[in-house]
Structure 1
Amino acid sequence: MNQQSGKSSLFKTYSSIIWLLCGIIAGSILGLVFGKDVEIIKPLGDIFLNLLFTAIIPLIFFTIASSIASLEKSEKLGKLFVIVIGVFLSTVLISAILMIIGVLLFPIHQDIIISKIPLESIQSGNAGSQITQLLTAGDFYELLSRKSMLALIIFSFLIGFASLRSGEKGASFRDFLNSGNEVMKQLLHLIMKTAPIGLGAYFAYQVGIFGPQLFGAYAKPLGLYYAVCAFYFVVFFSLYAFIAGGKNGIKVFWGNNITPSLTALGTCSSIATIPANLEAAEKMNIPAHIRNIAIPLGAPLHKDGSSMSSIIKIAVIFAMFGKDFTDPHTLLLALGITVIVSVVEGGIPNGGYIGEILAITIYGFPMEQALPAAMIVGTLVDPMATLLNANGDVVSSMLITRIAEGKRWLSVMIAS
């Protein structure tokens, strides 16, 4: 009975991914069987994408603004906040650089061109004007376009900090931001229920038009992603734990991260893993004032796995359109995008769609062709990404404690 219940619980946890895979497989079969005639169901895919596009702007605003507005002030917040951000940023960049090295060592090649639509041209002008257009919008309504994604993110950060500074007078507005964030998450859940049909129709169209050679296009990037992430999980997390607390650090980390790991894999949600992470951090002797800030803050803002997945998605998109991913400027921009993605994504299943749209927009790829492919890759890497995201918060809390409390923090806590 327990075994049957376990299987049922496992299916319920991964049901969305399973249904999405079923939709993609069914669409692929339809494309193979009916060829170009399958174009008749393409509007189903277009409807799904349009729903996603209309929801993404308010979702980004509420996700960022509510996260910043919910920060609590305390005497140690200033110094600790700097340490937390420093550690989060460092591990995100390290994970992204490791994935870039993996992509450079094992390049992703794609012989077919998914779309012959020309890339969006970058407006001419001096560097100053281009930076201005990238970071700001000339009017409020221009923030509501996905072409002004970075400007919207900056504006959302400012709104969050302004509401935080407003104190008691801004309490109602903060409640509004939190409520709006929850509503938009639920809206995304509703839209994603149509993903098996929408992406299935899109995949049927791609297979029917471009042929069966589309199969296998994702096999190498997925294999590369899981291999590099497994290496990062075992080797680098052990290294972080050793830096934080020496040999004892490795013991307490690997001795207490099983429950958070299984919770992350089972829920595919960083936020759902917060209780398990807090319990594990307490067993690891991480001080309460550190774990109670770093772990809840890390769930929406710190994502090693997502940073690695954003690199692999960008590499796949570049390969799809036959573009060079090895250009230094492209790689540096990719690193910048991963940092933004780590902040923008909510700690919910498939939250990376926000980052995917941002990356596609910045690089100037046609959204209608690039986004579904990035979403497919993102869905397939989601369990491993969540594992690194959630466990990364715990090991980062150890690093934060090492910096804030000194190198002997663990031995002192164990002795006491």
Structure 2
Amino acid sequence: MKAKSVANNYRFLIILLLAMIFGAVTGALAPGFSHSIAFLGTLFIRMMFCIVVPMVFASIAGAVASTKSRKRAGKIMMVTIISFVLTGAFAAFVYFLLCQIFPPVTAAWANLPKGEVGEHATMTEMVLNFFTVEDFSMLLSRKAMLPLIIFSLLFGFSVNLSGEAGKKVAEFLDSLTAVMMKFVQIVTYYAPIAFFAIFADLVATYGSQITESYARALLLYYPVCFIYIFTAFPLMAYIGAGADGVKMMFRHILKPAVVSLGTCSSVATIPTNMEAAAESGISKDVSDIVIPLGATMHMDGSCFSCVLKIVFVMGALGTPVHFSELPAIVLVAVLSSVGMSGVPGGGYIGEYIIASIFFPNNMELAFPILVAIGNLIDPPATMINAAGDYVVSFMVSRFVDGKNWMKKMSLQEK
């Protein structure tokens, strides 16, 4: 991959990070000015609030509606989704334990407005509001993201099962998704200005605690990602094809990993993953389903970051994180990952979902903090997400083509 191409893919991320740094410096040196420009950040947040509901509905419902799986393909898809959910849940569980041992925020941020500390949804509220809302109009609220995801999945399945009658609806959903992606892209051009203002105001309000908290978060996240690659990935390959699978995986995984780091996009890594899968002897129909589906659904790295984000904001708010909240956090980590698109930066969808579920009363504070963490840890998260799509195809092959699928493929090639 050319250095110029890598630079182009990371250019916006670098600009955004520089805006955050300059904003933090401005907040420390000119707190009065920083407070006066806070509205520039609020403008961006409110625009994203308006975009996210139709975007989540169109992307999820459209993806399910357009799926053309029958018989063997249906079995492949079922095993694939189960694999994605299990690996994502495992990643979230492991990272939750690590955050209990090494909390990213050791002390609540000072100067929080009275009445905001600890205001997050309780377990009972999350369970009650998990599947649906009282009225259809409430699905359009920014505080009903999980019910919207469930509704979108069911709507997509309904369109898919309608056959020819649902074809035009599926096409409309695909078109709407493309339009909303462009909408997000347009709004994102304003993001550097917004994050300059947001971080200037945050540092002016909460001081040096912000720098310390983010540093601890990064020191915990980056090493864990690389440890995961050399422990969980070999385990998945071993489950899929034994010791030979582990050797094959390490022989071909470097290229997808490098491409995902260079592009910072799971979707952009699809062709390289397809090539690696073919060279590993994985059936074409398996790779044709697992890898594209994984670009938007398989998000182990994002599950890591989701847990980190939730625990981080809870720590900043001074809210203790108990093991009783583990099921809810793991569930949200997996489901919010499904809502993320395979584009650089994830379109801020995952951050929005997390904020709306766990911090509905603190969204304007939580959302920019979550997005900042997302930008800082996006490269290694994308690498795990994208390269992991190739590794999961080993496990799917094991359950679809049998225990000795790799040996059978080798004999067929001969």
Structure 1 length as normaliser, TM-score? Answer: 0.93
The C-alpha deviation readout for 1:25-84, integer Å capped at 9, x for no partner, is 111121121123321111111111111111111111111111111211322133222211
Q: Identify which of 313, 322, 331 aligns with 2:326.
A: 331
State the secondary structure of the residue aligned to 1:146.
coil
Deviation for aligned residue 1:9? 2.3
The 1:98/1:134 distance shift into structure 2, 3 A limit, reads: closer
The 1:324/1:176 distance shift into structure 2, 3 A limit, reads: same
Deviation for aligned residue 1:281? 0.5
Q: What amino acid sits opposite 2:403 in the alignment? A: K
Give the length in aligned residue pairs.
409
Q: Identify which of 316, 320, 324 aligns with 2:316.
A: 320
Residue 342 of structure 1 is matched in structure 2 by: 337
Give yes or no for contact 1:265–1:386 (8 Å, CA) kept in 2. yes
Deviation for aligned residue 1:323? 0.9
Matches within 5 A, 1:112-151: 112-113=109-110, 115-119=112-116, 131-151=127-147
Q: What amino acid sits opposite 1:224 in the alignment? A: L
Do structure 1's residue 210 and structure 2's residue 217 form an aligned pair? no
The C-alpha deviation readout for 1:306-330, integer Å capped at 9, x for no partner, is 11110111111111101111x1222
Q: 1:25 and 1:217 mapped to 2: Cα distance? A: 15
Deviation for aligned residue 1:135? 2.4
Do structure 1's residue 85 and structure 2's residue 81 form an aligned pair? yes
Q: What percentage of residue pairs aligned between the two structures are identical? A: 35
Structure 1 stretches of 5 or more lacking a match? none
Q: 1:235 and 1:121 mapped to 2: Cα distance? A: 37
Q: What amino acid sits opposite 2:167 in the alignment? A: A
Matches within 5 A, 1:5-404: 6-108=2-104, 109-113=106-110, 115-119=112-116, 131-325=127-321, 327-351=322-346, 353-364=348-359, 365-404=361-400
Give yes or no for contact 1:115–1:369 (8 Å, CA) kept in 2. no
The C-alpha deviation readout for 1:214-260, integer Å capped at 9, x for no partner, is 22220111111111111111111012112211221112111112221
Q: What amino acid sits opposite 1:344 in the alignment? A: G
Q: 1:312 and 1:9 mapped to 2: Cα distance? A: 30
Deviation for aligned residue 1:404? 1.6
Deviation for aligned residue 1:132? 4.8
Q: 2:358 and 2:17 mapped to 1: Cα distance? A: 28
The 1:122/1:318 distance shift into structure 2, 3 A limit, reads: closer
Give yes or no for contact 2:237–2:245 (8 Å, CA) kept in 1. yes
State the secondary structure of the residue aligned to 1:345.
coil
The C-alpha deviation readout for 1:167-225, integer Å capped at 9, x for no partner, is 11211111110011111111112211211110110100111222234222201111111
Structure 2 stretches of 5 or more lacking a match? none
Q: What amino acid sits opposite 1:115 in the alignment? A: L
The C-alpha deviation readout for 1:309-360, integer Å capped at 9, x for no partner, is 10111111111101111x1222211000011012111111222622222222
State the secondary structure of the residue aligned to 1:272.
helix
The C-alpha deviation readout for 1:258-292, integer Å capped at 9, x for no partner, is 22111111111111111111111111100112111
Give yes or no for contact 2:184–2:347 (8 Å, CA) kept in 1. no
Give yes or no for contact 1:37–1:208 (8 Å, CA) kept in 2. no
Q: 1:106 and 1:131 mapped to 2: Cα distance? A: 28
The C-alpha deviation readout for 1:82-124, integer Å capped at 9, x for no partner, is 2112211111111111211211221221342463253486899
The 1:123/1:87 distance shift into structure 2, 3 A limit, reads: closer
The 1:381/1:83 distance shift into structure 2, 3 A limit, reads: same
State the secondary structure of the residue aligned to 2:346.
coil
Give yes or no for contact 2:69–2:77 (8 Å, CA) kept in 1. no
CA RMSD, Structure 1 to Structure 2 (Å): 2.1
Q: What amino acid sits opposite 2:318 in the alignment? A: G
Q: What amino acid sits opposite 1:218 in the alignment? A: Y
